């Protein structure tokens, strides 16, 4: 059966249009490069700080956190082509100045990159 069609062949009509807050937002993917952030207005008059580019990461080493430089994106679990484009996203394995690390947060929504150092 076709989506949006009744069994008789008629079509369903929307009750109303989408509200501004219901519309899908522009998809953001954080790229490796010199740090660049952007402020977005959110519902309720709040401001969300989002990341567009970055070259630093907060790496958890044992029980301490250290700031490190990102050298390269090794692999991403979502798609191997995203690693070639140096896209930073949750679960991506990156090469840092401290060693290899896995990103544990969602940089496109939080404004920073957190990672855990991997044992070689």
pLDDT digits (tens, 9 = 90+) for 1-33: 467 788 888 988 888 999 888 888 888 889 999
pTM score: 0.79
Q: DSSP assignment, residue 103?
A: E
Q: Where are the domains of the chain?
A: 28-117
Q: Which residues, 6 or more positions from 106, have their beta carbon under 8 angstroms from its beta carbon?
A: 89, 90
Tokens of 41: 């207005």
- C-alpha 31/C-alpha 73 separation (Å) is 10
Domain 28-117 annotated CATH 3.40.50.2300: no
Q: Residue 79 in 3-state DSSP?
A: coil
pLDDT digits (tens, 9 = 90+) for 56-84: 999 999 899 999 999 999 999 988 899 99
């Amino acid at each position: 059966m076709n989506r949006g069609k009744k069994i008789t062949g008629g079509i369903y009509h929307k009750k109303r249009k989408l509200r501004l807050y219901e519309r899908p937002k522009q998809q953001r993917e954080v790229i490796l490069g010199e740090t660049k952030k952007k402020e977005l207005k959110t519902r309720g008059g709040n401001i969300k700080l989002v990341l567009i580019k970055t070259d630093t990461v907060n790496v958890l080493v044992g029980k301490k956190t250290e700031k490190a430089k990102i050298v390269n994106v090794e692999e991403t679990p979502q798609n191997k082509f995203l690693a070639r484009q140096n896209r930073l996203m949750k679960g991506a394995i990156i090469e840092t100045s401290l060693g290899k690390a896995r990103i544990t947060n969602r940089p496109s929504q939080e404004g920073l990159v957190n990672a855990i150092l991997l044992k070689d």
